[in-house]
Chain A
Amino acid sequence: GQNIDQPTEMTATEGAIVQINCTYQTSGFNGLFWYQQHAGEAPTFLSYNVLDGLEEKGRFSSFLSRSKGYSYLLLKELQMKDSASYLCAVRDSNYQLIWGAGTKLIIKP
């Protein structure tokens, strides 16, 4: 079967750095997405990786290793507004998006 694994919850301090990991086992691979979802709201797109390596976008970076079936989302200079769930999703060989259950990130002052 297809599976996306992420930690259920993480806690970090305002101003710090946090890394959210995602491992996947899917039928084929056509890219990995990270979305942010605030409580009671819809997911919003953060990043897309299809090649190995690091993609940087401001305070957020996403890394991919296809051989390891592994990605992480790195958030720097954490702000209180970064408190949200972060969902990892992989597009499989049928171009379907397989979603993880998300990591709830709690930011403390």
Chain B
Amino acid sequence: DAMVIQNPRYQVTQFGKPVTLSCSQTLNHNVMYWYQQKSSQAPKLLFHYYDKDFNNEADTPDNFQSRRPNTSFCFLDIRSPGLGDAAMYLCATSGTGGASDTQYFGPGTRLTVL
């Protein structure tokens, strides 16, 4: 089945220790997104790629970076995680980014910062 895969599902890191989260997709979608979601809050868009065209949301902290080496894979790097970065990180994909385009989500990575 075509799907969006995220690894790991749970990640524990220490304050200030860099961490990388990964996402892969078999849907052959052009657009990939990284969201941060905290408990009972709306997902917050961090970045999105239209193919290799990188788009950084204006309020995404510099502590967060992303890479998309090819169509299938996308990475989220948190350079120096703080306690406030503990959250669920969701990767999503969509075909074209157009009006009716549906976003399909991976299962998420829950990040704990000690």
Which A residues lie at the B interface, using CB under 8 A?
A: 4, 8, 30-31, 33, 40-45, 48, 50, 85, 87, 91, 95-97, 99-102, 104
A24 shortest CB reach to chain B, Å: 12
Which of A30, A40, A50, A87 is close to B110, meaning CB atoms less than 8 Å apart?
A: A40
Instruction: Decide yes or no: A97 and B90 within 8 Å by CB, A30-B99, A45-B102 being known contacts.
Output: no
Contact-residue size bin, chain B (C-beta under 8 Å from the other chain): 20 to 34
Beyond known contacts A31-B99, A48-B102, A97-B45: 12 more, CB 8 A cutoff? A31-B100, A40-B108, A42-B90, A44-B105, A50-B100, A85-B40, A91-B99, A95-B98, A99-B43, A99-B44, A101-B40, A101-B42
Cα of A95 to Cα of B108 in the assembled complex, Å:
23
Q: Give chain B residues whose Cβ lies under 8 Å from the Cβ of A87.
A: 42-43
30 cross-chain CB contacts under 8 A: A4-B42, A30-B99, A31-B99, A31-B100, A33-B102, A33-B103, A40-B108, A41-B108, A42-B107, A42-B108, A43-B90, A43-B105, A45-B102, A45-B103, A45-B104, A50-B99, A85-B40, A91-B99, A95-B97, A95-B99, A96-B45, A97-B45, A97-B103, A99-B42, A99-B44, A100-B42, A101-B40, A102-B40, A102-B42, A104-B40
- Asked whether B106 is an interface residue with its Cβ less than 8 Å from the other chain, the reply is yes
**Nearest neighbor of B57 in chain A, beta-carbon distance:** A96
By a CB distance below 8 angstroms, the chain B residues around A44 are 105
